[in-house]
Amino acid sequence: MQFGLVEMFQAMSVLAKIVSFILIGLSVISIYLLIERTMFYAKAKNLSKAAAPKLSELLKTGQIKEAQVMASKKEYQNSHLALVVKAATTEFLEGKETGLPFEQQLESASRGCDRAASFFNQRLKKGLSVLATIATSSPFIGLFGTISGIINAFKGMAATGSGGIAAVASGIAEALVTTAFGIGVAIIALWCYNYLSTRTETYDAEMSNMTSQVIDFFVRKQAK
């Protein structure tokens, strides 16, 4: 038997081939999620980079209503920082209109920021649970192919009445290939998951910092 990829694939059992196709599909899903999430994060970063200085300037000068209008624009709906500012200014102005004490206006604005950050955090984490599942389950899926390969090895021994390398080579190769494939897919998914999780934590920190800044703007405006 030749041990090229094509030859080994042709010699695989039906179960091992099914396992291989499943693992190929999972690897494609992992790479797709990495690309799709990276593009989403980049869009959020670019929009926030463009909006944050303008919003900060409006808040510094006490133009809260103007900041709310800008942050509410459709073009900034995927900006995590604009979303936080929108929530803070909306809650603050509504609290002011209803006659709440200033301290309660601040608390309402802070809670609004927390809700907005939590909402966007869920958008950031979209697909990460899928990657985690792929990373943990791929080695076990590969084990199905391993079992199939071992069974084929025993079949080869039974057919030849010998335990020589020629009798078991095909089955052992099948077992090793599917095992390695499962581990490889798990590594890819785990790397993607860790990378995206780190990016998510960065955005969470940025939203937390923006919340603090907006509340400080409100306090300084009241102190004037």
Indicate the pLDDT class of residue 39, thresholds 50, 70 and 90. Answer: very high
From CA 124, how far away is CA 44, in angstroms rounded? 10
From CA 180, how far away is CA 35, in angstroms rounded? 24
Task: Dump pLDDT digits (tens) for 126-165.
Answer: 999 999 999 999 998 888 877 776 776 666 565 555 555 5
The DSSP secondary structure of 67-108, one letter per residue, reads HHHHHTSGGGTT-HHHHHHHHHHHHHHHHHHTT--HHHHHHH
CB under 8 Å to 27, separation ≥6 — which residues?
Answer: 184, 185, 188, 189
From CA 35, how far away is CA 195, in angstroms rounded? 12
DSSP 126: T
From CA 175, how far away is CA 144, in angstroms rounded? 9
Name the amino acid, one letter, at 195: Y
Task: Dump pLDDT digits (tens) for 154-196.
Answer: 665 655 555 555 545 566 666 777 888 889 999 999 999 999 9
Specify burial of residue 207 (Cβ count, 10 A radius: 0-12, 13-18, 19+): buried
CB under 8 Å to 208, separation ≥6 — which residues?
Answer: 117
CB under 8 Å to 23, separation ≥6 — which residues?
Answer: 138, 141, 142, 178, 181, 182, 185
